[in-house]
């Protein structure tokens, strides 16, 4: 138990309450892949918080009599009942109940909607868990003010989905203990400070090679790292890449940035391809895009690079000054590999409260 986040047992004025929050997805530059219980990463990670790929979640809290020790809730996606998410939510509530024990006394009506395809390799669980946690913290805070609101939101989010803890703030977040980051820890994300101004407006165009359901859940992927023959070497390399990336983020050295970020993306997929059972999540079109990116970079000396999530989609990262050239390049050379489906995003600042309209 992490004492600083344990809340009062009861909420005294038991009234109906509702609120709505949005949270963005994030894209990891140093990947979190491998964890120990409960939701403790095997290596520190760094991510860009995004701006346009969002989950919007509203919750109504209705006081009830509940003699069980489980949180009672219903979940709808865009107004329609979606039982697929219930088991994930049940696990989440079991993990957070010690930190928000008063939730037992309420019935939670949760409705969520994404503006991008969920389960497609865009980290939808990250934005979903961050938006949900933001609502829970808003509820708690409006009755019993919390001092470290953002920290506790990130803490709860992590218990829903590890990478979600990095979606609460932005634009660059780290999660996991590392000697280079003061106050870094395994329980919630911390802002990466002192980065070069080029990263203030960094862009991420996400090419949707495959917007279908993921073949492997990240939970299973993390599990497979436990017996992975290369696990200890991977964790060592992630820590080393983390240190190197901190330097590149501060100096704005884009050559190093590109080398480290692409290496991390490929290591992630190398881990999946060499686990038992193995998973090949990249598609031939993913490789076509990667080759095009390398050619374009060499030919025009424009510092774009790719990263990948646990799926076939490609995140194209580049400084904003090159946006028009890159968009032209996507239209001309890459759109054929993604059926012209791509999302232009950029770095953002994290969760935001939305005016609630019933």
Binding site for ligand DP6 (CB under 6 A): 28, 31-33, 39, 45, 123, 125, 161-163, 218-219, 222, 268, 309-310
CA dist., res. 197 & res. 277, Å (int):
43
CB-CB contact of 70 with 90 (8 Å): yes
Least distance to ligand DP6, CB of residue 122, Å = 10
Least distance to ligand DP6, CB of residue 35, Å = 6
Q: What is the chain's Cα-based Rg?
A: 20
User: What six digits make up the tokens of 161?
Assistant: 């989905």
Least distance to ligand DP6, CB of residue 263, Å = 14
Least distance to ligand DP6, CB of residue 219, Å = 4
Q: How many CB atoms are located within 10 Å of the residue 201 CB?
A: 13
Nearer residue to ligand DP6 within complex by CB, 152 or 222: 222
Nearer residue to ligand DP6 within complex by CB, 32 or 106: 32
CA dist., res. 311 & res. 141, Å (int):
37
Nearer residue to ligand DP6 within complex by CB, 127 or 205: 127
Q: How many CB atoms are located within 10 Å of the residue 11 CB?
A: 22
Closest Cα to residue 243, out of 283, 306, 184, 284? Answer: 184
Least distance to ligand DP6, CB of residue 282, Å = 13
User: Residue 350 is inside which H or E element, if any?
Assistant: none
Least distance to ligand DP6, CB of residue 308, Å = 8
Nearer residue to ligand DP6 within complex by CB, 7 or 218: 218
Nearer residue to ligand DP6 within complex by CB, 33 or 337: 33
CA dist., res. 28 & res. 72, Å (int):
33
Least distance to ligand DP6, CB of residue 105, Å = 28
CB-CB contact of 153 with 343 (8 Å): no
CA dist., res. 340 & res. 346, Å (int):
19
CA dist., res. 130 & res. 21, Å (int):
9
Nearer residue to ligand DP6 within complex by CB, 11 or 159: 159
Nearer residue to ligand DP6 within complex by CB, 104 or 123: 123
Least distance to ligand DP6, CB of residue 271, Å = 10
Nearer residue to ligand DP6 within complex by CB, 32 or 93: 32
294: alpha, beta or left, given left = phi > 0 and alpha = psi -120 to 50?
alpha
Least distance to ligand DP6, CB of residue 307, Å = 10
CA dist., res. 22 & res. 135, Å (int):
9
Nearer residue to ligand DP6 within complex by CB, 104 or 206: 206
How is 214-267 classified by DSSP, letter by letter? -SS-HHHHHHHGGG-TTHHHHHHHHHHHHHHHHHHHHHT-HHHHHHHHHHHHHH
């Amino acid at each position: 138990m992490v004492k600083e986040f344990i809340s009062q047992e009861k909420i005294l004025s038991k009234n109906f309450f509702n609120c709505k929050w949005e949270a963005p997805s994030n894209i990891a530059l140093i990947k979190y892949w491998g964890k120990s219980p409960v939701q403790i990463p095997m290596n520190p990670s760094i991510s860009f918080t995004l701006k346009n790929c969002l989950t919007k979640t509203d919750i109504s809290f209705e006081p009830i009599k509940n003699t069980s020790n489980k949180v009672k809730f219903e979940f709808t996606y865009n107004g329609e009942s979606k039982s697929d998410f219930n088991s994930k939510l049940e696990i989440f509530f079991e993990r957070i109940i010690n930190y928000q024990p008063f939730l037992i006394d309420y019935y939670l009506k949760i409705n969520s909607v994404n503006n991008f395809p969920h389960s497609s390799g865009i980290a939808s669980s990250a934005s979903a868990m961050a938006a949900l946690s933001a609502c829970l913290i808003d509820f708690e805070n409006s009755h019993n003010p919390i001092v470290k609101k953002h920290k506790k939101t990130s803490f709860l989010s992590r218990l829903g989905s590890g990478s979600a803890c990095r979606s609460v703030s932005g634009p660059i977040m780290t999660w996991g203990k590392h000697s280079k980051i003061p106050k870094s820890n395994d329980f919630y994300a911390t802002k990466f400070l002192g980065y070069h101004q080029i990263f203030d407006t960094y862009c991420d165009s996400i090419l949707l090679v495959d917007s279908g359901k993921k073949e492997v859940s990240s939970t299973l992927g993390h599990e497979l790292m436990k017996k992975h023959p290369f696990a200890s070497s991977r964790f060592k390399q992630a820590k080393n890449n983390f240190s190197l990336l901190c330097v590149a983020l501060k100096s704005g050295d884009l050559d190093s940035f590109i080398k480290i970020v692409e290496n991390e993306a490929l290591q992630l997929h190398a881990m999946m391809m060499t686990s038992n059972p193995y998973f090949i999540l990249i598609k031939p079109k993913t490789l076509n895009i990667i080759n095009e990116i390398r050619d374009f970079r060499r030919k025009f000396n424009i510092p774009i690079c790719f990263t990948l999530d646990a799926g076939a989609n490609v995140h194209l990262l580049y400084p904003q000054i090159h946006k028009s050239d890159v968009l032209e390049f996507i239209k001309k050379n890459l759109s054929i590999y993604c059926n012209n489906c791509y999302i232009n995003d950029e770095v953002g600042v994290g969760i935001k409260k939305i005016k609630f309209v019933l």
